[in-house]
Structure 1
Amino acid sequence: MYFTYIIRCGDNSLYTGYTSDINRRIKEHKQGINSKYTRAKKFKKLEVYFISGTRSEAMKLEYYIKRLSRNKKLTIIKNPQILIEEVKDKGEYSLGE
């Protein structure tokens, strides 16, 4: 099981990443380790995460989300189902909910 996630930083910027252990990764972001971006911008909160069956799917989803506009990411944070439906329609991802 893999996770693709969006976190909000102290300056209100959004960071997207993927991991096999969401709890460990969020602790690392909070401690400012293993990510230059969140070390500099400071972790504020985990906004949303999505579960994928494989590392490859999680990485593809991360790439997909990173290409979205900030406004689209904010919409997904408010309603994650939008992203789930979008990527399922593309047939490239099999997201758990």
Structure 2
Amino acid sequence: MTAPSKPWYVYLIRAANGALYCGITDDVERRFAAHRTGRGARFFRSSPALAVAYVESCADRREALRREYAIKRLSKASKEALAASQLPA
């Protein structure tokens, strides 16, 4: 019997210039910290990471990669709508 896989997450991070960066990880807090310190993605070299704007849980890495691909194909307005969907009420 195979042990259940750990969850993976698709996330959007807001950069200082207003852009949204999409990625996947198995630990959102650790990954955000890496982006904040410049060890994450080159994307944040020109505009620092400010906040996690959206997180979506996926069953496994494969599902997370598929969802990341779908989100990256969305328009800026659609990505903003995703981010707005998780704002506190």
Classify the TM-score, shorter chain.
0.7 to 0.9
1:27 paired residue number:
33
Distance in 1, matches of 2:20 and 2:40, equals 17
Please list the CA deviations of residues 63-89 of structure 1 after superposition, one character each: whole Å capped at 9, or x if unmatched.
000000000111111125xxxxxxxxx
**What's the offset of the Cα at 1:41?**
1.6
- Contiguous gaps of at least 5 residues in structure 1: 81-97
Larger fraction in helix: 1
**What's the offset of the Cα at 1:13?**
0.6
2:4 paired residue number:
none
Distance in 1, matches of 2:40 and 2:30, equals 11
Distance in 2, matches of 1:9 and 1:56, equals 26
Q: Which runs of 4+ in 1 moved over 6 A?
A: none
Q: Tell me the C-alpha RMSD between the 2 structures.
A: 1.0
Please give the TM-score of this superposition, normalised by the length of structure 2.
Answer: 0.85
Please give the TM-score of this superposition, normalised by the length of structure 1.
Answer: 0.78
Q: 2:60 aligned with 1:54, yes or no? A: yes
**Number of aligned pairs?**
80
Report % sequence identity: 30
- Contiguous gaps of at least 5 residues in structure 2: 1-6
Distance in 2, matches of 1:40 and 1:2, equals 27
* 1:76-91 matches, cutoff 5 A: 76-79=82-85
Q: 2:18 aligned with 1:15, yes or no? A: no
Give the greater-gyration-radius structure (CA). 2
